[in-house]
Chains A and B, each alone.
Chain A
Amino acid sequence: MKIVVTVKLVPDTNADKRIDPGTKRLVRTGIETVLNPFDEYAIEAALQLKEKRNDGSTVTIFTMAPETGKEIVRKALAMGADDAVMLSDPKLEGSDVAGTSYAMAAALKKVGYDLLLCGTQSTDAITGEVPGMLAEYLGVPGLTYVRKLESDGELLKAQRETETGYIDVAVKPPVLISVTKSINEPRYPSLKGIMGAKKKEIKSLALSDLGLERAVGSDGAKTEVIALASPDVRGKGKVVTVADGAEGASAIVDFLKEKKLI
């Protein structure tokens, strides 16, 4: 089985982020870039599936990112993936979700896959829309918010999280699956893995390799960011000083009653 994991390079989640008022885009220079934490769960799911199947299945990392992101891609390779493909092109800059998914789909068709694994969302824009759109552009079933994944012969058995419970689904590849954080605990790359990643291949693709039928990047964007605003600063919470637990409990009950929550 050829497993491909889509990953994104995002600004360090600890870094102070800034929006360029002109382009209304996140400033990505001068900030340390890291692997999107949500994608680590997809990589781990891919590696576990490969190890369990033990049938020569492979794991390929795919990302759309500037060439400078190679060091971060190596981190994904250090966890144990076999190789990587990077779609890099200055003309992709400014792509919205639809443009991104369209270009990624075209590249992934070229790369080929049986199972496409994604994280649910990225920590920068947090739209959570790419997995769904990607499945649509690729014309394959898209199972999102999967918290359990098993391989059963030709079938993949997935458990999807819903607001009220879960749905068990069996599906025959090719398929796209996005996984939630509850699916596993991502491994640390081993020191041997880090050294080994140096020798693994990272293939490059450019837009000219894809033969796209519509524009991507800023020109092809179907959405426009009109305005940006910071959320209001939250005031300090109300502090109640009480003598004991019983008094504290009744203070909480009174508060909830006052708000008509109970």
Chain B
Amino acid sequence: MQATRTKPLDFYNIDEFFTPEQRQIRDTVREFVDERVLPIIDDAWMEGRFPSEIVAELAALGVFGPTLPEEYGCAGLDNIAYGLIMQELERGDSGLRSFASVQGSLVMYPIYSFGSEEQRRRWLPALASGEKFGCFGLTEPDYGSNPAGMLTRARRKGDGWVLNGSKMWITNGSRADVAVVWAKTDDGDESSVRGFLVERGMRGFTARDQKGKHSLRASDTSELAFTDVELPADAILPKSGGLKSPLMCLTQARYGIAWGALGAAIACFEQALEYSKTREVFGAPLGAKQIQQERLAEMLTEITKGQLLAYHLGRLKDAGVATPQQVSLAKRNNVDIACDVARKCRRMLGANGILAEYNPMRHMANLESVYTYEGTHDVHALILGQALTGFNAF
């Protein structure tokens, strides 16, 4: 039922600058999240379970790889529409947005950008329709912020390759039909890094879920292991070359996160605001207290600044001029303020704030992962520092 939607938080009337299609896309995903995600997400999170029951509907909506061309079964959307989709999904849960980010930005994007036409035709329509799922393997147990040190190797054997190594912190790893795995093809520097499509069921390839997470509990996080996995010649992504290729994928995903984190912040803010109007303390609503009003004003200000940042970054990206450094700034800022907002909201809710029926603590815990993955907060500071000074401080 489309008529029961809630208006998005929009203090600066940014809505006016969106096209009717962008607004409609945002509202459609918003309704989906309200009706299908919010009723089940608290339980799924507490149970530590990815809500796979909604995946078919998500695919039917078209949220996987929506910016890729229609000829591959995608929607051909612009980047602002993509950002709005990520915002609304993360208003539901960071795990859900992560699922879509990985499928679209980290699996479909590299197959589209670095794959052969045969690889595109084989995988993209199946990944867009949710018939197949993918994961992205770059991070290793000992190489997170420093992927150039990766130990995973793909060595030539006849026409094909033999893959050895392991990857860690891989979203969707255990349910993936195809893993985009980054490996060095010799023992030299990062220029030998290439992407490979490793399929589920290949001999020597295993995926195991990592347990005991206090964050992203409604999302699968896995460890991938490759022991003498024999890959055919056409498993390599032919146009990939050097560490730059996976970093280009990360720039896509980080862009989505800059929007997504706002969704989580808005979800917390709206709940705390509502609570402040109904909860009475010392004979007056919580929101009638100056100290709480200041908190609300601070949060509104930071969210609004983040929205303007995301919107303008989207415009730059659609114009084809956004730089990875600009994406770093937005990811860094918006995730950081979302962490702050979630924590403030958790506190505003008092004891109720620790309960699963209120969303801030779930978002707060999730956002700690978002703060850490796709380039930690500190890594993005170093990227910006290098852009400013020219000095590499890694």
Contact = CB atoms under 8 A, between A and B. Distances in A.
Interface stretch (B20-28, B175-183, B200-208): B20-28
A123 B2 CA distance: 12
B1 A40 contact: yes
A195 B19 CA distance: 11
B20 A123 contact: no
Contacts of B62: 190-192
Interface stretch (B70-78, B228-236, B238-246, B300-308): B70-78
Contacts of A188: 28, 31-32, 57, 60-61
Interface string A62-91: 000000000100110010000000000000
Interface string A1-43: 0000000001011100000000000000000101111001000
B2 A78 contact: no
B3 A191 contact: no
A78 B1 CA distance: 14
A78 B25 CA distance: 10
Interface string B61-99: 111001000100011110001000100000000000000
A191 B4 contact: no
B6 interface: yes
A34 B70 contact: no
Contacts of B63: 191
From B6, B7, B28, residue with most partner A Cβ within 10 Å: B28
Contacts of A71: 20, 24
A35 B25 CA distance: 15
A14 B264 CA distance: 23
B4 A14 contact: yes
A194 interface: yes
B24 A35 contact: no
B1 A37 contact: yes
Nearest to B35: A188
Contacts of B4: 13-14, 37
B189 to A, nearest CB: 41
Contact of B25 (A36, A123, A191): A191
A36 B31 contact: no
From A35, A123, A188, residue with most partner B Cβ within 10 Å: A188
B2 A35 contact: yes
Nearest to B82: A191
B3 A123 contact: yes
Nearest to A192: B75
A37 B21 contact: no
B3 A13 contact: yes
B70 A78 contact: no
Given A195-B75, A195-B76, A189 B3 contact: no
A37 B24 contact: no
Contacts of A40: 1-2
A35 B70 CA distance: 28
A189 B28 contact: yes
B3 A198 contact: no
A194 B77 CA distance: 10
A75 B3 CA distance: 12
A191 B88 CA distance: 14
A141 interface: no
From A10, A35, A37, A191, residue with most partner B Cβ within 10 Å: A191
A132 interface: no
Contacts of B60: 187-188, 190
Contact of B61 (A13, A37, A191, A195): A191
Nearest to A76: B2
Contacts of B74: 192
Nearest to A186: B1
Interface in B1-54: 1-7, 20-21, 24-25, 28, 31-32
A75 B61 contact: no
Contact of B77 (A34, A36, A75, A191): A191
A14 B2 contact: no
Interface in A160-212: 186-192, 194-195, 198
Interface of B: 1-7, 20-21, 24-25, 28, 31-32, 57, 60-63, 66, 70, 74-77, 81, 85
Nearest 10 A/B pairs, CB to CB: A191-B62, A34-B3, A191-B75, A13-B3, A37-B3, A192-B75, A37-B1, A190-B62, A71-B20, A194-B24
13 contacts: A12-B3, A13-B4, A37-B3, A123-B3, A188-B32, A188-B60, A188-B61, A190-B75, A191-B61, A191-B77, A192-B62, A194-B28, A198-B21
Interface of A: 10, 12-14, 32, 34-37, 40, 71, 74-75, 78, 123, 186-192, 194-195, 198
Given A14-B3, A194-B25, 12 more contacts: A12-B3, A13-B3, A34-B3, A37-B4, A187-B60, A188-B28, A188-B32, A191-B61, A191-B63, A191-B77, A191-B85, A194-B24
